[in-house]
Structure 1
Amino acid sequence: MSTASAYLTIRGLNIDVVRKDIKHIHVGVYPPAGRVRIAAPLSFDDERIRLAVVQRLPWIRRQRKELQSAERQSLREMLTGESHYVWGLRKRLKVVERPGRAHIEVDGDRLALYVGADATTEQRRTYLDRWYREKLRSALPELISSWEQRLDVTVPRWTIRKMKTKWGSCNRETRNLWFNVELAKKHPDCLEYIVVHELTHYFEGSHGARFAALMDRNLPDWRLRRDELNGSPLAEEDWNA
C-alpha cells in the first residue's frame, strides 16, 4: 500500500498526516498526551484535510481532554502491596516466593503471584502479562459470538496483543480484529464497547455521523462506556507513544 507522511498545524493542533491508498479519512487521538493522527486518501490535499479536521474539532478536543486528565500508574515493580487492576477492580499484589511453576490467583481483593525467589522483576511482569492475556482470551469468544449473531457478521480471526496507541483495531479488508491486552484490566463493559466499536467498522470505516448512529442503535450507552474506558488508569509503561 502506498503511503506518504506530512505534518500540519491546524487551529493550534500539531497533526501527523499519513496519506494512504484508502477511500475515507480516519482521525485518531492517541494516549498519553492526545496526539492527533490523520490517515487520508492519497488524493486529499492539505485544504481538504484541514476542513475534515475543523469539522471534527469538538470531538478531537474532547478526546484530548479525556486522555490528558486520565490517571496513570507508575511503572510496576512487581512487589507486594502494589495496586493492579483486574476487570476494573483494584487488587493489591501479594508476592509469594516458593519453588514450583509460577502462577497467579485472585484472592478477594488481593492478586497473589506465586513465583520462585530468583525470578527477576521483568520475569514477574511477563507472568502477569500472560495471565492478563489468558483472562482476555477466555472472555472474548462468548462476547464476539454474541455480537456476531446480533450484527449478522463473522469475525474470521481475532488476536490479543500489546498496543501503544489503540484499545482495539479492525482491518476492514480481512475483517481481522486486534484487542489490547490492557483491556483485561478494565471493566467488562469497556471490553464489550471495544468489541462493538471494532465490529461497527465492518459497516463504516470512519468515526463520523453514520458510525455514531450505528453505535447508538446497537449499544445506546456506548459513550458512557467509552468515557469510563478513557478515564480509567493507564499503565505508564504501555502508553509512552
Structure 2
Amino acid sequence: MVENVKIIRKKIKNMYLVVNPDCSVVVKAPVHVSDEYINSFIKKKESWIKKHLENFESLNSKSVAKKYIDGELFKYLGNEYILKVYPSKKEYLEISDNFFNLYVLETNDFEKKKKIIEKFYRKRAEIELFEIFKSNYKVVTEKMPDFSVRKMKKRWGSCSFHKNKIILNERLIEKSKDCIEYVVFHELAHLRYPNHSKDFYNYLTELMPEWKVKKLKLNERH
C-alpha cells in the first residue's frame, strides 16, 4: 500500500488522485466517502501511483544541489565526469578524458560556474538530442515534426499530436544515447496514437522491442 497519501475531503462529486513533482500523493474525495472506500481506491491505483513516483524520483534525483567544486561528479550522455576548476581569463567548459575542465575567472564564483555548466548542457542538448531525433523520425513519418529542447519538470518528453511537435527535456543530455532513443521513439509513437492505449504500446514495441529495458535504465537512480 502506498504510504503518506494526503486525503482532502471537499464538496465535490468525484474522487481525484494527484501525484506531484515533489513526490507527494494527494487524494481529493467527496465529503461523504468513507475511509474504507478511499483506501480501496488508492489500492486500485497503486501501480499507477508507483509508476509516476518513479518517474518524478528519477527527474528529482539530479536536483541535489551542486557545489561546483573540484571532484564533484557530473553526467553527460550516460558517463560520469569529474569536475576540475581552473583559474582563467577565458571562461568555458571542455571535456577531456574523464574530466569536466571548467575555466573561470574566479574559481569561487558559484553563480558563474553554474551558468557556464548549464549553458554547456543546454547547447549540447540542442545538438545531441536533435541528432538522435533526426536519425530516427523517419521510422514513423516522412515529414520531420517540429522539434525543440527545453527544461521540463514533470516528464522526459512530450508530443503535441495536433501541432506535429515533439519536445525533449534538456536534462536527457545526462542520459545514455539508448535511453534518449527510447524517449524519442515514445514521443514519435504518439504521432500515431496520441494516448497510452494498448495500440500505442504495441506500436512502440514494433519500433523498439526492448523499450521496457530502456525505460527502466532511464529511470534508474544513482
TM interval, short-chain normalised: 0.7 to 0.9
State the 1:145 CA deviation.
Answer: 2.4
Equivalent residue number for residue 68 of structure 2: 78
Unaligned runs of 5+ in 1: 1-5, 17-28, 38-52, 234-241
Equivalent residue number for residue 153 of structure 2: 164
User: Once the two structures are superposed, what CA deviation does each residue of 1:89-126 show, in whole Å capped at 9, x if it has no partner?
Assistant: 111111112112x2111122111111111773222222
State the 1:86 CA deviation.
Answer: 0.8
> C-alpha distance in 2, partners of 1:7/1:134?
47
CA RMSD of aligned residues (A): 3.1
CA contact (8 A) 1:193 1:226 kept: yes
State the 1:140 CA deviation.
Answer: 2.8
Equivalent residue number for residue 49 of structure 1: none
Unaligned runs of 5+ in 2: 1-10, 28-40
State the 1:185 CA deviation.
Answer: 0.5
Q: Aligned to 1:88, which of 78, 87, 91? A: 78
Equivalent residue number for residue 133 of structure 1: 122
> Which secondary structure state, in structure 1, belongs to the residue aligned with residue 219 of structure 2?
helix
Equivalent residue number for residue 97 of structure 1: 87
- Which amino acid letter does the alignment assign opposite residue 105 of structure 1? E
User: Once the two structures are superposed, what CA deviation does each residue of 1:55-110 show, in whole Å capped at 9, x if it has no partner?
Assistant: x846514414534765824201111111111111111111112112x211112211
Q: Aligned to 1:15, which of 14, 17, 24? A: 17
Q: Aligned to 1:178, which of 156, 167, 176? A: 167
Indicate the structure (1 or 2) with the bigger Cα radius of gyration.
2
| TM-score normalised according to structure 1 size | 0.70
State the 1:34 CA deviation.
Answer: 6.7
> C-alpha distance in 2, partners of 1:106/1:63?
35
CA contact (8 A) 1:160 1:180 kept: yes
Moved more, 110-119 or 161-170: 110-119
Q: Aligned to 1:228, which of 213, 217, 220? A: 217
State the 1:200 CA deviation.
Answer: 0.8
Query: Larger relative contact order (C-alpha < 8 A, sep ≥ 6)?
Result: 1
Identity of aligned pairs, percent?
Answer: 24
Equivalent residue number for residue 116 of structure 1: 105
Equivalent residue number for residue 194 of structure 1: 183
Equivalent residue number for residue 66 of structure 1: 54
- Which amino acid letter does the alignment assign opposite residue 189 of structure 1? D
> C-alpha distance in 2, partners of 1:36/1:97?
48
User: Once the two structures are superposed, what CA deviation does each residue of 1:167-190 show, in whole Å capped at 9, x if it has no partner?
Assistant: 111111111111111100011111
State the 1:154 CA deviation.
Answer: 2.6
The number of residues matched between the two structures is 197
| TM-score normalised according to structure 2 size | 0.76
> C-alpha distance in 2, partners of 1:151/1:62?
30
CA contact (8 A) 1:190 1:229 kept: yes
> C-alpha distance in 1, partners of 2:51/2:148?
26
